[in-house]
Every structure is written in structure tokens, then in C-alpha cells.
Chain A
Amino acid sequence: MEWDFRNIDDEGELNLKHFFWKCTACGTCRSGYTYGPPPTFRVICPQGNKFGFQGFYGSKGKAALARWMTGCSYLKDEKFEYTPEFLHTLYTCTECGGCQNQCMIDFKPHIIDTIEAMRARAVQDGKGPLQEHHILLTSMKNNDNPYTGPRAIRAKWMKKISKDTKLKDINKESSPVLYYAGCTPAYNAPVRNLALCTVSVFDKIGLDYGALGKTEVCCGSTVLRIGERETFKRVAQHNLEQFKWLHDERGVDTIVTSCAGCYRAMVEDYPHSDEFKECMDGIEVKHTSELLYEKYKNGEWEPTKEVNMKVTYHDPCHLGRHLKEWIIDWDGSTQWKGSYLDCIDKGIFEAPRELIKAIPGIEFEDMKRARNNSFCCGSGGGIKTAFPDWAAENASLRVEEAADTGAEMIISTCPFCHANLNDGAKVIKSELKTMDLIELLDQAL
């Protein structure tokens, strides 16, 4: 299986270098600003907000790092060298894409790819990822998950499922739907309820579905984000082949996951494989909120129990602004070669909100930074592993913002965000907790 991830040093006309040299350093990326009316000014870059110097701030900072790393022809006497400080700057970006959402020029579609390509080069050169990430790599190598949990307990959460569950062992029984739980609910105890509630909700609405249990393997998202492409390719290849087998042998035509990171990996990263189309032919990947919303709109189920609570919703980066289909004029037939023309926004913003609002008794209010301008919780891009204190500190800013809405609970659709926002609440001793959408829906059914 071959993969077409781009490299920071690729040669060729429309290489990444072509695009990061398109950055004009205008600084529009530094803040989430819209004219409106009313004009809104919002902090959007967690890294810039924390560390402040221009190399940290937005995609302007990342373009600078990339130019420094690959050589700037205007500074012939300066040579790039890996330093701990450079690696710190490189690895304190959450890769949230907040800056990408602001940019308007040809660099825009390539910003996150540029960051990941720099990290991949650091790994290739033996300089990355950070020492703090090695525990994650070792765990992936030994256990196929980033949480250092043994393979044997991957399915431990399933022991808590009701005996009346309709959940099938899809290794043995056919089912049209594979519930891909992901590593976080399996191994991260504070959010294990997410998987249990998913099963509960699926049972309640009468879904025919199965899970892999112990044979499930990490989607690879975490390692890809820190530049460890070889490990990603290994698990991704395993998953693609397994999905194909499940389709051919077990009748799976839908993979549903409650994890925004897994979803993003499968729909955005796995397509870089030259065998993606073949392996995924006849299979759709959906997030739980998507699947449930479709069925809700079809009248197949509705929330019936009252939940009297005011809530707000945190848009995960992986489920929101990362999901874009970029329209680029690669051959120059429309504008010029490499011109960024437009994007198709595939972010899942409305389905979770509609489901929340469908619950009797719920009062809903959005935060000021929402949808494509959501403020990253601070957990992604390898940050939670390497800088857990800062991840929680950043999350506390989001909890404060949520508190401004008067919400009693933050709802999210990503277990990473879920866990980190709760850690953030602890930092500021806030009573405002986060729960997953699926947990809320379980209460309402």
C-alpha cells in the first residue's frame, strides 16, 4: 500500500514550498475576525495566545518555520539546525486549523499539511517527535493504542454492557454497521461512558450493529499528527484491509464512530492510500451524530425524556473545520496553477446542535466562538501527551467562555475534547462539566 503524503522538501512545481512562500505575513490568521455586522474579534490560535512570539502565531508563524527549515535564499549565511527550542515551537501547535479558517490566499488549503510535513521531517531526521511522545509511540508499537493499555483490555468496557444488548461481535456475526469505538473510550477511563452510552443509544433505537472488541486497532490519528507516519501507515493499512474484509465477509456498509479524531482520520487521512477506494468501496464512514441525526430526521427515533438543563456545544476541530474539500486549480485552467478557488465545507456543525435542541426541556446557547471559528480545546496535535498542563490551561479558557453562556453543561462530540475540557474545569475550579452528546441523548431516550 502506498501513501501520497506530501513532504516539506518535495521538489516539483506545486510543492508545499510553493504554497508556504505564498504567505504574505498579513497576520489575518492571528484572530478570528469577521466584519459581521457586528464585527467580532476572537482569539483563535491557542499556541500564539500562550507563547506569543510571531513564530508561534497562526499560519504566518508556521510559514516562517517552514521557510526557516527549508532554507531562505535571502539569508545565505544562516543555516537551519534542530534545536530544542525549534522543536518546542513545532510541537506546541495543536493543528487546530483556526488560522487556516482565517486565511484567504493560496497557502490556505496547505497549512495543516505543512505543519505535519515539518513534523514528519523531524521524525525522519531522528529529531522528532518530542521525548514526551515516545511513550505514545512505544504503546502503539506494543499495544496498537496510544494509551499504554494492554491489548487484552481493549474490550474491557464491553463487560459493562447490558446482557440484553443487540451489539454483535462482528468478528463472528454479520451486521451492516460497524461501531468503531476507538482507543479513547476503550482506555481512557474518564470518558469510557461514551462507548457505553453509544451502545445504549444504539440499542434503544434498534440499530443492527457490531463491534470489533479486542481486534480493534487504533486509527493512527495521534501518531500522524506528531509526524510518525510509518506507524500511522501500519495501523491504517491494517484498518483498511480489515474494513474491506468486514464489508466482503460481514456485510458492513457503514462504519460509525463516536470519536472525532477517528472520524477525521478515516475520511481525511486514509484517502491518501492508493488502495483506499478499493478497500472502502461500498462503505460509508459516519460520526455518531451524523447517523443519529439522519435517523431522527427520517422519523426512526426521537428523544422523549425531558432533560432540563441549559447547555452549550463545543465544536471539535476534527469534526468541524478540518472537514473541508478544497477546490484548487491544479492545472491552471480556471485562474492559475495552484490557485485556491473555494472549499466545500463538510464540517458536522448542525447535526449535533439539532439533536441537542430536539431534547425536551433543553435550553441551548452557542458560545461566541463556534463552528468554523470554534476555539480549540488544546488537546490535539500531540499536545495532551507532551504538555498536559498547558492543554488543561488552554481548555480552561474554553470553559470560561462556555460559562459566559450560562450553560450548566458543555456538550461535545470528541472524547479528547471531553476529557481535556473537564481537566480545564479543574484548573479554574469550575463546576461546569463536559459530557458527550451521546451521553445526553442516552438520558433523553
Chain B
Amino acid sequence: MVENTNILGELKGIVGDAHATSDKHIMYAYSYDMCFVPNKLPQYVAQPANVEEIVEIMKLCNKTKTPVIPVGANTNIGGLCIPKKDNTLLVDTRRLNKILRIDEESRYAVVEPGVSHAQLAEELFKRGLRFGWPVGPPSGTVVGCAISHGISGMSGRYGLNSQMTTSMEVVRPTGELCRVGSCAIQKDSWHSFLPLPRMDGLFHGWLGTTGIVTKLGIYTPAVPPYYEIVTCSTQNISDMYKYMLEFSRYEVADDLTAVNWWLSQVPIPYPFKEKPADAPEWNSYAVLYAYTEKELEAKVEAFDMTIKHQQGLGSTVQATEIPEESKRGRTELPSQIVGSTKNYCKEAGGGISWPGTFTPANKWAQVYDKWYDIYTKRNLSPSTRVTMYRGIHYGMLRAMTPINKQSPEETENAKMAIIEALRVLLDAGGIPYKPPVDFGMEINARADKGYQKLMADIKDMIDPNGIMNPGQLVVR
């Protein structure tokens, strides 16, 4: 970093005195999130009010070589916004909190980076529209989640939230403002990245290392009037996988997910507790939305046929009835109850982390069996979820790992379990999403050299001074 003791003064000159600080107690509040990544204080936090101020901030950071990280609500579980370098500036986008447009006819919205899921949910509901609400805090930001490949209650039908984005405006690390997608060609047209070159790929999944997204177009489909949640259980993951494999081929579920017994407990048992012998190990729910009653009946019929067929093959799958209250937890999103982490870490303490991954479905069983051993050996519940995404048979495989953050020893124990689980997963072909640096190191240790060089070359091109979230990608 270029020695410049007046960075704070310059930041205040850009955003105003009240919106930039280096007060230590405020830095502390930004120095951690839910996960096991240790605290590290940033040096400054600035809250710009508009794009122009962000541009000026980035120019300043380039001039002074100040590391910078954009922050939404900081509710990621990957330490993405925790500084990796000294003297880091966090750009807190809270004040850019407008829903700029909801185009009901074309079914898309344009939002600023400070817009939360809760805020958007209220507005979309009024119009009979929806978005990919994650099972996370309602305070989480739409942009932060979407550009980091967030998963939602519609991943079966529409894919990840990043697959529901349509256009974007970005401040590049050098302070240049650019648009990507249709809004680059026609200023107020935010409908698609296609058929242009997919330059949005420079900003999706890069974990805040290639620019600050200042506007994002998102697809907002209608809320169908009919829905049903169909549920079933199996005694083992192998049978659950086979059921999900078959049922997902009908391509009728908005969300097709299964959780094991530990993850279905409220909250996750901490420390590990034996599953009752008579309880099935896996429970699945599939959320079926439909525009007509007939459509819904047909979808339910597909479910019934799958159950019957699987049972005929000797599977332990059983259709089940679950309480209405439980069903609401899957459809009433964003959920204050689930998103508050109450269901996850209420017993353990102030943290949660995961090996959260996208993994070929035909590897779930082999990975899970090893995860079970890794976790129980460390007296942790192997609380695991699998979700089938749209498209080829791959999807989420993750072990929600509550952490007692007050105890460094217990936090380290959880971290070791997670890293060990991650290695097993990577060797099986899965890939973690929103990875903390520890995960990034494991990924890169296995990654194709050409891939790593391409990533580094892109990073060097777009961020020549290496200021944006340095260290997060590991390669730079």
C-alpha cells in the first residue's frame, strides 16, 4: 500500500463525514461473520450513497493501492468480506438500497446492491411475483447472494440465483463503470445477457474480486396459484438418491431437497446425538407449483409413480405426511424463522459453517458416508442436505456445521471436520461454493493449471493493482 495517512480524510471527502470511519469498535463489528474464519479488522469502512461515489472510491483505492472489499449484509458463511490483508477498506453498500424497477409485463426487476431479500419480497408479493429466496437471513442482499451463486427454493425449476440474473452494471476495480448484458446496448433494457458474449461471467462467482455490482437485473417469475409439498423418507442416502434421480427427471419440482435426520432436528444437535433407531435417516420434500389444478395433479401423480416404482425396486422410500408447520418452512420464504439460524445454531452457539458444495448427484452417497465418519469422530452431527438442481443431475451437498464461536477450541474442531470433509468431496468431484480461503487453497491444489492461469490472467487484467479482495481467490 502506498503510504497515505489521509485515506480516511479522502474517503470522507467522497461520501461525507458521517459515512466513513476507521473507529476500531466499528471495525470489529465488520471483522467477522458466522463462519470459522478468524476475525480480522478492516482499516476503514465507507458507505457510499450512489454509483458515482463508488467510482471515486475505487479510483482512490487504485491510487493508494488500498485493498477493498464490497459488503452487502455480510451474512455469507465463507468469510468473503473478512479482510485478508492489512489496511483494507470495506465498501458497505447499504445505502444503495433502491428497487429501481419491477417490470411486471416482462417479469424482471432491477435492484441496487443494498436491497435485501425481505425488502424485495414485500414489493414482489404485491405484484404476484417471486424470486429465488434463499433459506438464509431475510436481511441478506439480493445482489450478494445472486452473484455468488446463491441457492433458492426454485433451484429445481430455474437453477441458481446467478442463473436468474439478466443484466448488470459494474464498477470495475479501476473505477471504470461498465454495463453487461442488454442494458449495455439499450440503457433501460435489462432483460438478458444473451445473445451477447457472457461477460457477466467476469462477475458471477468471483467473490468480490473483480468489481462492485451496482445494479442487477433479475428474473421474477409469477407465483403460481397452486402448490403442494410432497414428502417421503428413506433409511439411507442411496435410496434417497435413487428416488431423487428418478423424480427429478419429470422436471416438475421447484425445489427437490432431502435432509438427514440431524439437519431435520430443530435445532441441529450439538454435540452429536445418536439418531433414534426407528427414525428414517433421510427425509425429502419436493415443492410443486402449478398454474392449474390439473397441472398440480399431474405433478403429484409423477411423485406417486416414482415412489411406487422405487418401492418395486426394493427401495426403503415411503411417502410421508409432515406437519403443515414444517411445510411452511419450505414455502414461506424469505423466512425469519429459518433465516435467523435458529434451526441451525441455536444450541451450539454463535456460528455456522459448512462444506457447502455443488456435487454430481451420483457421488452424494459415497461422500456422505465418509462425512458421517468424519463428523461423528469429532462429536459433531453430520447434518447434511442434498438438493437436485435444474439440468444435469448435480446439486447441493452440504453439511451444516454449527459452531460454538465463544470457544476457539470448539471452533477449530469444527473447522478441522469441515476441511477434512471438503477434501473428500473435492476428490469425488464436488466443488464448494462461496469458499473461504481455506477452501480456495484446497481447490487450487487440485485445479487444472490452465484454469488457474486463466483466472490469474483475468484477475490481473481487470484488477491490475490487485486491490479487490486480495487473497480471496488464492491465485491473487
Chain A interfacial positions (CB closer than 8 Å to B)? 17-18, 21-28, 30-31, 33-41, 51-56, 60-61, 63-65, 67-68, 72-75, 78, 80-81, 83, 85-86, 89, 102-106, 335-336, 339-340
State the CA gap A110–B34 with chains docked (Å). 20
Query: B30 contacts which chain A residues (CB < 8 A)?
Result: 53-54
- Asked if residues A18 and B406 are in contact (CB atoms below 8 Å), the reply is yes
Determine if B209 is an interface residue (Cβ-Cβ < 8 Å).
Answer: no
Determine if B92 is an interface residue (Cβ-Cβ < 8 Å).
Answer: yes
* B31 (CB) vs chain A CBs: closest residue: A75
State the CA gap A73–B333 with chains docked (Å). 36
State the CA gap A437–B337 with chains docked (Å). 35
Q: How far is the CB of A51 from chain B (nearest CB, A)?
A: 7
Query: A55 contacts which chain B residues (CB < 8 A)?
Result: 23, 25-26, 28-29
Determine if B364 is an interface residue (Cβ-Cβ < 8 Å).
Answer: no
Determine if B215 is an interface residue (Cβ-Cβ < 8 Å).
Answer: no
Interface string of B271-314 (1 = CB under 8 A from A): 00000000000000000000000000000000000000000000
Of B115-123, B385-393, B443-451, the one contacting chain A is B115-123
State the CA gap A86–B25 with chains docked (Å). 6
Query: B126 contacts which chain A residues (CB < 8 A)?
Result: 38
Supply 10 A–B pairs (Cβ within 8 Å), ascending by A.
A25-B350, A26-B340, A28-B336, A31-B118, A33-B118, A54-B26, A74-B38, A74-B39, A83-B24, A86-B24
State the CA gap A36–B335 with chains docked (Å). 10
- Asked if residues B29 and A65 are in contact (CB atoms below 8 Å), the reply is yes
- Asked if residues B139 and A68 are in contact (CB atoms below 8 Å), the reply is no
- Asked if residues A28 and B121 are in contact (CB atoms below 8 Å), the reply is no
- Asked if residues A31 and B116 are in contact (CB atoms below 8 Å), the reply is yes
- Asked if residues B21 and A53 are in contact (CB atoms below 8 Å), the reply is yes
Q: How far is the CB of B414 from chain A (nearest CB, A)?
A: 14
- Asked if residues A26 and B47 are in contact (CB atoms below 8 Å), the reply is no
State the CA gap A68–B28 with chains docked (Å). 7
Query: A105 contacts which chain B residues (CB < 8 A)?
Result: 340-342, 345-346
Known contacts being A28-B137, A39-B121, is A22 close to B25, with CB within 8 Å?
Answer: no
Contact for B345 among A24, A35, A40, CB less than 8 A:
A24
Most buried by A among B18, B29, B74: B29
Query: A18 contacts which chain B residues (CB < 8 A)?
Result: 406
* A60 (CB) vs chain B CBs: closest residue: B29
- Asked if residues B340 and A53 are in contact (CB atoms below 8 Å), the reply is no
- Asked if residues A75 and B41 are in contact (CB atoms below 8 Å), the reply is yes
* B95 (CB) vs chain A CBs: closest residue: A52
State the CA gap A89–B41 with chains docked (Å). 18
- Asked if residues A33 and B334 are in contact (CB atoms below 8 Å), the reply is yes
Determine if B347 is an interface residue (Cβ-Cβ < 8 Å).
Answer: yes
- Asked if residues A41 and B350 are in contact (CB atoms below 8 Å), the reply is no
* B404 (CB) vs chain A CBs: closest residue: A21
- Asked if residues A339 and B347 are in contact (CB atoms below 8 Å), the reply is yes
Contact for A26 among B32, B45, B75, CB less than 8 A:
B75
Query: B92 contacts which chain A residues (CB < 8 A)?
Result: 52-54
- Asked if residues A21 and B405 are in contact (CB atoms below 8 Å), the reply is yes
State the CA gap A51–B25 with chains docked (Å). 14
Query: B373 contacts which chain A residues (CB < 8 A)?
Result: none
The 9 closest A-B pairs by CB, nearest first: A27-B139, A21-B406, A64-B29, A55-B29, A104-B340, A104-B342, A33-B118, A39-B121, A28-B340
Query: A89 contacts which chain B residues (CB < 8 A)?
Result: 23, 25-26
Interface residues of B in 22-57 (CB under 8 A from A): 23-26, 28-34, 38-39, 41, 45, 47
- Asked if residues B121 and A30 are in contact (CB atoms below 8 Å), the reply is no
Interface residues of B in 112-170 (CB under 8 A from A): 116, 118-119, 121-122, 125-126, 137-140
Interface string of B1-28 (1 = CB under 8 A from A): 0000000000000000011010111101
Query: B230 contacts which chain A residues (CB < 8 A)?
Result: none
* A39 (CB) vs chain B CBs: closest residue: B121
- Asked if residues B33 and A35 are in contact (CB atoms below 8 Å), the reply is no
- Asked if residues B336 and A41 are in contact (CB atoms below 8 Å), the reply is no
- Asked if residues A85 and B23 are in contact (CB atoms below 8 Å), the reply is yes
Known contacts being A85-B23, A104-B336, is A25 close to B116, with CB within 8 Å?
Answer: no
- Asked if residues B41 and A35 are in contact (CB atoms below 8 Å), the reply is no
Determine if B435 is an interface residue (Cβ-Cβ < 8 Å).
Answer: no
State the CA gap A51–B19 with chains docked (Å). 8
Contact for A41 among B34, B121, B332, CB less than 8 A:
B121
State the CA gap A110–B121 with chains docked (Å). 30
State the CA gap A276–B30 with chains docked (Å). 42
- Asked if residues A33 and B350 are in contact (CB atoms below 8 Å), the reply is no
Contact for B122 among A38, A63, A68, A102, CB less than 8 A:
A38
State the CA gap A307–B405 with chains docked (Å). 57
State the CA gap A78–B408 with chains docked (Å). 16
- Asked if residues B122 and A25 are in contact (CB atoms below 8 Å), the reply is no
- Asked if residues A25 and B336 are in contact (CB atoms below 8 Å), the reply is no
Determine if B224 is an interface residue (Cβ-Cβ < 8 Å).
Answer: no
Known contacts being A28-B336, A78-B24, is A21 close to B350, with CB within 8 Å?
Answer: yes
* A336 (CB) vs chain B CBs: closest residue: B347
State the CA gap A65–B31 with chains docked (Å). 12
Known contacts being A24-B351, A26-B34, A41-B121, is A106 close to B346, with CB within 8 Å?
Answer: yes
Determine if B352 is an interface residue (Cβ-Cβ < 8 Å).
Answer: yes
Contacts beyond the supplied A21-B350, A27-B139, A106-B346: 12 A-B pairs with Cβ under 8 Å: A24-B34, A26-B137, A30-B139, A37-B332, A39-B118, A53-B45, A55-B29, A74-B38, A75-B41, A78-B28, A105-B342, A335-B347
State the CA gap A102–B349 with chains docked (Å). 18
Determine if B317 is an interface residue (Cβ-Cβ < 8 Å).
Answer: no
* A52 (CB) vs chain B CBs: closest residue: B47
Query: A78 contacts which chain B residues (CB < 8 A)?
Result: 24, 28, 41
- Asked if residues A25 and B32 are in contact (CB atoms below 8 Å), the reply is yes
Known contacts being A35-B334, A105-B341, is A86 close to B23, with CB within 8 Å?
Answer: yes
- Asked if residues B139 and A31 are in contact (CB atoms below 8 Å), the reply is yes
